[in-house]
Structure 1
């Protein structure tokens, strides 16, 4: 009886078979991948143009008017929380954006930037005639960086202070006539500060320790008479 022989395929047939098998397997993988759920890619967070406003923008009347039209009135903000941890709400959640205060004549008196319920960014105050009164920055609710103030008359510079996380590091004061005050000497958070009324009379004086008001501070009327006294301990006003 003749024995049966196993099937025999020529080598080129075997190569063709494996080529098609590999192609089908690859196609199956690609199809499985493409048909599966596509991982979600979070779109980039849109930038808020109001958060990128600079001092130069606020010096432009058109830019300022645009910003004022978008800013909410500060009266709408609600201060909540314990002392030292207060947050501003409008009404929920903690407010991020710009807030304004206005004079009765319609002139802006203050423009403040908030982030997550705290003053964070630019803050500018104006006199009633439209001239700048104070300009500075806040960080996490505390003064930070350079703060400049001006007298009402002719925009004469009044003071230039540098803050670090709410503490006064250095201070330079000018009298209304432009003369630098030699009595003010605050350096590295320690020293004496003297302030003046626009008419040249002394407004107040006291000392700083470690960047905070300390001890007795005396304040005067614009006629040069003593008005009242305050006592501070590590920056906190003490009750008499």
Structure 2
């Protein structure tokens, strides 16, 4: 299985680099801006009672937006969007539990092709794949494969589909290894062959 590494912005790093912008009762307060050496705005963030709280926008040194979203009491909440240096949307993260201000590092990440089509929707917890993961064909709508992760490891039945939506292959996983039956289907629905795996090793084919 392939692994995906997400780029996360450290709240502590932002706090350290942030220039003073206003204080109330000894705590940072209000809208703050940080700048690159070339004078371009690096980020614009909101503070409340000494914590990041409100809209936040991060920029490349060219002035194009790198990411944008919202903080609540120092933590990312709701939907965050990420862009490449050309301004093309590359991914979105939807943080859970934001309204309760309980941050458990859980999120759903959506990835996009340069054409703006969805290529993948995956769930993460504490920076590891957790729960359902889907990839899509070039149209951004037809599912290519779908399965489950547990603590970053592929588990359970994973399904691969033809562009037509018909089931192409079904594989059983345990601890990120093929373990059990792997059934290959023709597009008419008939079984082409069945492979049996144990701990990632092919045992038999029929």
TM-score category of the 2 structures, normalised to the smaller one:
0.3 to 0.5
Bigger helix fraction: 1
Normalised by the length of structure 1, the TM-score is 0.40
Q: Which has the larger radius of gyration?
A: 1
Query: Normalising to structure 2: TM-score of the pair?
Result: 0.46
Structure with the higher strand share, 1 or 2: 2
